[in-house]
Structure 1
Amino acid sequence: MRSASGSSLIECLVAMAVFAIGAACNATWTMQSMAAHARASRLNAATTIAASLVAHIRANPEGAVAYDEESADDTGMPRTSSAGSQSDARHHTTDDGCDASCLARRLAQDNVRGFHAELARRVGPAAAGRVACDAARCTITVTWADRPVLAWAFRP
């Protein structure tokens, strides 16, 4: 019998099949790794932005209730159930001569606007944030593509 040198066609096909399976597994692992990295980056950015807003809220205790987006009117001032009171009229003035509580509310409005702008810039246009505050507790929630990313409750 003659000795065969080299490899047969079947051996080459088996080697290519093994290589193809390994390459497909590697591609799957790489895609899962990239998706996990993107989720971690979004969570990191959302946490950093929320921590900044928490610091702003704690630095502005007079305006803590004004951070509540659900209770704000078009001017960013909190809605109250007792319409027409003197304090409501004073807080809804449009001139620049406003008292300390008016300034605290304006600062709160600017901070919430900055919170939303940072979310859009750093997390992406699919990001949405919500701030809900009352006198005892605030909650910051961040979603991305309608999926929860962060929910942070704290005392102002």
Structure 2
Amino acid sequence: MSLRPADAAVPCPVARAVDVVGDRWSLLIVRDAFDGSRRFGDFQRGLGMARNILSDRLRRLVEAGILATQDASDGSAYREYVLTPQGERLFPVVVALRQWAEQALFAPGEPHSVLLDKRSGRPVAPMQPQAEDGSPLRPAATEVRKVR
């Protein structure tokens, strides 16, 4: 992915990531791609967003190397959007947001969708940053070394 000149001057990885996938629609498109959506109509029906906004966000995600287009798998004239390896690396980000929301934005017992491990049928274990020795890593135990 090539950066715009303004992006190249930003040394913060979080700021660059938010510039690419930080708006509501882009992250929801990525989420739906993980859930199996592949065609424009699938995204549009699932998200209920305006066609022009969806078209813009899909274009940006393709330009960023998060999605790629390919011929439809059923041989029709349609094009499909698929996650690239770079896009698949966003999976932990989507899971972390999901798990944070489950804890912070739902009342106890309030129904919500659940992410399951297909092998076991059980909910995915909570994500936790780990120190080199495997112990939980808390924010106070980290520091950001800024570029000067």
TM > 0.5: no
Structure of higher RCO (CA pairs closer than 8 Å, 6+ residues apart): 1
Which has the greater radius of gyration?
Answer: 1
- Comparing both structures, which one devotes a greater share of its residues to strand? 1
